[in-house]
Amino acid sequence: MQVSDRLSNRFEKGFGVTAPERTHFESMRGELGRRRFHDRPSYLRWVAVSRPHLPGLVPDPPETAESDVAAVLVPIYPDDEGALRLLLTKRPMTMPTHAGHLAFPGGRPDPDDLTPVETALREAHEEVGVPPESVEVLGFLDPIHTVEFALFVVPVVGWIDRRPDFVPSEREVDRILEPSLDELADPERWRYETWRGRRVWFFEIDGEVLWGATAYMTRLLLGLEV
Residue 55 domain flag: no
Task: State which residues of the chain have pLDDT below 70.
Answer: 1-53, 64-67, 93-99, 147-150
CB 147 within 8 A of CB 128: no
- What is the predicted pLDDT for the residue at 10? 39
Quote the pLDDT of residue 4. 36
**pLDDT reported for residue 25:** 42
Whole-number pLDDT of residue 44: 65
CA distance 105 to 123: 6
Does 183 lie in the same domain as 108?
Answer: yes
The predicted structure's pLDDT at residue 29: 43
Query: What single-letter DSSP state applies at residue 25?
Result: H
Q: What pLDDT, on the 0 to 100 scale, is given for residue 63?
A: 76
Q: Give the count of domains, the chain.
A: 2
The answer to the question of residue 54 being in a domain is: no
Same domain, 128 and 201: yes
Bridge-partner residues for 107, per DSSP? 71
115 shares its domain with 215 = yes
Residues 32 and 121 in one domain: no
Residue 82, pLDDT score? 85
Q: What per-residue confidence (pLDDT) applies to 86?
A: 96
**In DSSP terms, which residues pair with 153 in a beta bridge?**
70, 144
Segments forming the whole domain that contains residue 79 = 70-222
